Amino acid sequence: MRRWLTRRSRIPAVLRLTLAVILAAGAVAVLAAPSSEGQTSSGAGVPGGPPAGVNAPSKSPEPPAPGDPVKTFPDSPALRAQGYTLYQAGCSSCHGIALQGTPGVAPSLRGVGAGPVDFYLSTGRMPLEQPREEPQRAPALYTRGQIDALIAYVASFGGPPAPTADPAKGNLALGLHEFTLHCAGCHQVVARGGLTVNVPVPDLLAATPQQVAEAVRMGPYVMPHFGTRQIDQHDLDSIARYVLWTRHPVNAGGWAIYNLGPIPEGIVAWFMGLAALVIVARLIGERLA
Amino acid sequence: MNVLQRTLERRFLRGTRWLEQRLGAAKGIKWLLSYVFPDHWSFLLGEIALYAFIVLVGTGTFLALYYIPGDSQVIYHGPYALLQGEQMSEAYRSVVDLSFSVPAGLLFRQAHHWAADVFVAAIVLHLCRIFFTGAYRKPRDVNYFIGLTMLMLAILEGFAGYSLIDDLLSGMGLAIAYGVALSLPGIGAQLGYLVWGGPFPGSSSFLPRLEIVHVFLIPGTLAVLITLHLVMIMRQHHSQFPGPGRRERNVVGTPLWPAYALRSIGLLLAVAGVLFLLGGLVQINPIWQWGPFHPYLSENGAQPDWYIGWLIGALRLMPNWEPAIGNYTLIPNPFWGGAAFPLFVFIVMFAWPAIERRFTRDHLRHDLLDRPRDRPTRTAIGAAFLSWVMIIFAVGSTDRLFFRLHISYTAQIHFWRAGVWVLPILIFFITRSACRSLRRTDTHPMRAWQGTVVRRGPDGSITRLGDSADRTQSRPSEEPVGTVPAESER
């Protein structure tokens, strides 16, 4: 073995050539990837980034229907003043000093209301390190009190009230039905996340009912937004209840292997089932001298 | 123990006499019991597949008692809360009921599904053993063809099995299969219409057809082919690795009775044990979580069982190439990944013995196996081909890789469109040089050792017997046990 490692190979030239080819091919492939997306992202996107203008959408949040419950956040002049300070320090560089937004970078926050602010800040998606990267769930940077202050400040510029969902009023079976109909196409049917056009879709294991309601009504990032005619309040409550359920779904069959289906199943079949049997065959297959 | 042994022997003799007087079977039984199996653990891989098949037939019979191949829509009112009041097909409801209401139903269903996954995996591993040791050479090429046919049938059987359930995953799988069927040039539309009994999702006769294919046609064919496979092995005798006392026309090993039969029964029990352990402990295909299928539904990250995964990978990897004349598409894109690719892989495997004969001009009969290192080119070609298929297989899970590791999906696809050709070439040269080096040094790749073998005498003296360099010479040659005389010597 040692001799094999140190021995000068008889075909190093071929090996080196092949290695060079694979590296070149890899480089070409990696370089080719962003250029093919450049057509849709007007040359401004990062590699693997979303289609154009996703970070600067003008999707206005769908307002709750009359009579639907809304989420009220604390509001006072002092809170707005604190929010103003926080906003100027943490948000204004992209969203503008007067919430007017920056074309091609960040949307205007005038008239978005409380829901999107609560969603983006409480899930840690904002503030972004880089203006163009996809907002991903992270530990929230602001405390609850600071978030409330920012909500109070931004909501003072107008906008619909924040939606809310009460899982206790929801129906689990309806939740599965509505989730499969509207959400599973991207979020996977047990909310384990997935892939759309080069954008990872988050799993919903950490999503709270309030965040689910806000996301459904405003459609963060590439997600579509749903009005009350598509998903009414009862559906919303049920979806929130179902999302909570997916944290601990009924795994009657035993170890759930991530509720993902065939990929982990194949890994278990090969590397636990067949591997165990090959070990058995190895042990009993030969007369041990 | 002795009493038991004597009793068993007496019983056995009486039974043989009974059969001899009626069927004249004593000679055959004697031949069968003294049939010699060569000693090597890798010869048991095929047996793992055989016993997985037995588990499949056993559990499948149980499942078939409860499955209803109906597509009429019903409303669920069973014990599972999340599907309460949900509209679903009779087929899906019967499998949900089987899982939640039939005693041990879920255990049997999961053991069946795990058995299917392990069955195909064991066949693939067995095929690798056959290929890399040259066991497919004349006269065993006929049996190799039967084995390949069984692999094809096993893959088809598995797909038919999980498509029967009519849950969200199986419905999406059938939609893709329908798309591939439509893409077959010229005959696609007619074939799809014929098999599904109408446009997707098909007529009411589709599920019953699929059931007959799954529970009768393919398993029956498999059973016949397995019998042929085994009879042919016994007729031609096992091949064996070269070793002390082992020649082309003999077999050195363990006779069927008493040694090998017990070993084999042990393996059967181990296979059944592992599969039922998996069935009881690890959840597979939780169809109640996927929900029923309706043609307007889909979910993200839907995947087929692993043995169909290579086709999904091929569909994803294939560039969007569709030759067309004007507005008429000659060959729709799914054809390449979904039909041409598996067809090509199997054609290459079927043609391989002839290809090899052509290039090596070796038309002789071979009963001794090759060690992979002794045929560097064949081993290298096999490794390259295997890696080619495995890369395409792995591309089928790029979406999960993207989700977990945030490696851009399109970048992965672009990379592998080149890598799928370059990497196997690299593997070809690496394998070939590794084989040549191993053949030269004759070390075991995993058991290589360095040192000196010594014997200490009763007086404390130390005699050097040999060291790592001349290990093969210093190994005591073992007495051949259970040698079958060559046919010419009889």
Kindly report the three-state secondary structure assignment for every residue of chain A.
Answer: CHHHHHCCCCCHHHHHHHHHHHHHHHHHHHHHHHHHHHHHHCCCCCCCCCCCCCCCCCCCCCCCCCCCCEECCCCCHHHHHHHHHHHHHHCHHHHCCCCCCECCCECCCCCCCHHHHHHHHHCCCCCCCCCCCCCCCCCCCCCHHHHHHHHHHHHCCCCCCEECCCHHHCCHHHHHHHHHHHCHHHHCCCCCCEEECCEEECCCCCCCHHHHHHHHHHCCCCCCCCCCCCCCHHHHHHHHHHHHHCCCCCCCCCECHHHCCHHHHHHHHHHHHHHHHHHHHHHHCCCCC
* Residue B241: pLDDT over 60: yes
* Residue B142: pLDDT over 60: yes
> Angle A248-A253-A256 (CA atoms, 0-180°, nearest 5)?
45
Note whether A81 contacts B: Cβ–Cβ < 8 A.
Answer: no
CB contact (8 A) between residue A172 and residue B434:
no
Look up residue B84 and give its two tokens. 């309460």
CATH architecture of B42-305: Up-down Bundle (1.20)
pLDDT at B445: 61
Taking residues A143-159, report their average pLDDT.
94
Q: Which residues of chain A lie closer than 8 angstroms to B282, CB-CB?
A: 253-255, 257, 268, 272
Taking residues B377-383, report their average pLDDT.
97
Residue A18: closest CA among chain B residues belongs to which residue?
A: B426
Based on C-alpha coordinates, what's the Rg of chain B? 27
As to burial, measured by CB atoms within 10 angstroms (0-12 exposed, 13-18 middle, 19+ buried), residue A77 is exposed
pLDDT at B196: 95
CB contact (8 A) between residue A7 and residue B437:
yes
Nearest to B81 among A4, A21, A172 (CB): A172
- Which of B83, B57, B35 has its CA nearest to residue B251? B35
CB contact (8 A) between residue A273 and residue B409:
no
Q: Which residues of chain B lie closer than 8 angstroms to A29, CB-CB?
A: 411, 414-419
pLDDT at B25: 86
Confidence of residue B22 (pLDDT cuts 50, 70, 90): very high
What lies within 8 Å, CB to CB, of B463 at 6+ separation is B454, B455, B456, B457
CB contact (8 A) between residue A29 and residue B117:
no
What lies within 8 Å, CB to CB, of B149 at 6+ separation is B225
pLDDT at A13: 59
Confidence of residue B221 (pLDDT cuts 50, 70, 90): very high
CB contact (8 A) between residue B437 and residue A22:
no
Q: Measured between CA atoms, how close is B14 to chain A, in angstroms?
A: 31
In chain A the domains, ranked by start, together with CATH numbers, are 67-162 (1.10.760.10), 164-249 (1.10.760.10)
The better pLDDT of the pair A16, B119 is held by B119
Note whether A141 contacts B: Cβ–Cβ < 8 A.
Answer: no
Percent over 70 (pLDDT), chain A: 79
CB contact (8 A) between residue B299 and residue A181:
no
CB contact (8 A) between residue B275 and residue A185:
no
Residue A241: closest CA among chain B residues belongs to which residue?
A: B82
Q: What's the pLDDT tens digit per position in A168-199? A: 999 999 999 999 999 999 999 999 999 887 78
CB contact (8 A) between residue B106 and residue A269:
no
The better pLDDT of the pair B164, B449 is held by B164
Q: In chain B, what are the domain boundaries?
A: 42-305
CB contact (8 A) between residue B117 and residue A269:
yes
pLDDT at A21: 65
CB contact (8 A) between residue A253 and residue B289:
no
Q: What's the pLDDT tens digit per position in B68-115? A: 999 999 999 999 999 999 999 999 999 999 999 999 999 999 999 999
Note whether A21 contacts B: Cβ–Cβ < 8 A.
Answer: yes
Q: Half-sphere exposure (CA, 13 Å, Cβ side) for B151?
A: 24
What lies within 8 Å, CB to CB, of B185 at 6+ separation is B330, B331, B332, B335
Q: What's the pLDDT tens digit per position in B405-425? A: 888 888 999 999 999 999 999
Assembly ipTM: 0.89
Lowest mean pLDDT among A31-40, B262-271, B318-327: A31-40
Taking residues B327-354, report their average pLDDT.
95
Note whether A158 contacts B: Cβ–Cβ < 8 A.
Answer: no
Confidence of residue A39 (pLDDT cuts 50, 70, 90): very low
Q: Which residues of chain B lie closer than 8 angstroms to A173, CB-CB?
A: 81-86
Q: Measured between CA atoms, how close is A56 to chain B, in angstroms?
A: 22
Confidence of residue A146 (pLDDT cuts 50, 70, 90): very high
Q: Measured between CA atoms, how close is A233 to chain B, in angstroms?
A: 19
CB contact (8 A) between residue A184 and residue B297:
yes
Note whether A36 contacts B: Cβ–Cβ < 8 A.
Answer: yes
On average, the pLDDT of chain B sits at 90
The better pLDDT of the pair A92, B478 is held by A92
Instruction: Read off φ and ψ for residue B452, nearest 5 degrees.
Output: -125, 135
On average, the pLDDT of chain A sits at 83
pLDDT at B26: 87
Look up residue A141 and give its two tokens. 């940077």
